[in-house]
Amino acid sequence: MGLKKVVDFLAKLGLTIRDDPPKVIDFTARQWGETKNGWALSVETLPGKDPGDLPSLSIVIRNVGTGPQKLSVPVSKNDRTWIQFYTVELREANGTDLPLAPFGKTALDPSRRAELFEAELAPGACNETVIPLGSFFNLRGKSHLKVTAKATVASGAELVSNTGPA
């Protein structure tokens, strides 16, 4: 694996290792789950950069309320990524859940949630987390998959995203 692929992979995990320009998220092109307590959640599949690359999942949480709102995000030690804030459900066309791959089980292990990171989002602001689906799930030979993300916000409300293709 070349250095560029390693750097891209680590960046997909949310690790800040390069100075990319800020990504602009087009809210009008995204589908959203039901709004609850001033929050909305969306998933969108991102194709791999090169032919043969497996897709990644973009999860966006947006403050659709009228004032700033806080989130308590569980994180691993020395890791401020939001990966553990979300639950990702990947299903085959027949509704069967696709199990996590070994890496996904390790990365999402609840025992790794060492601390809470307090984040505040202004009205209209959002946070995007990109999860490399091919690292978290065994996608080889699978097609017509559907993906949904869930998150629990400070008020205790469970947000459910739209269901999108994976």
Per the DSSP assignment, residues forming a β-bridge with 60 are 42, 128
pLDDT at site 36: 95
pLDDT in tens, 34-92: 999 999 999 999 988 877 788 899 999 999 999 999 999 888 766 678 888 999 999 99
**Considering only CA atoms, which of 70, 136, 125, 71 is closest in space to residue 103?**
136
pTM for the model: 0.82
Domains of the chain: 3-15+33-165 (2.60.40.2970)
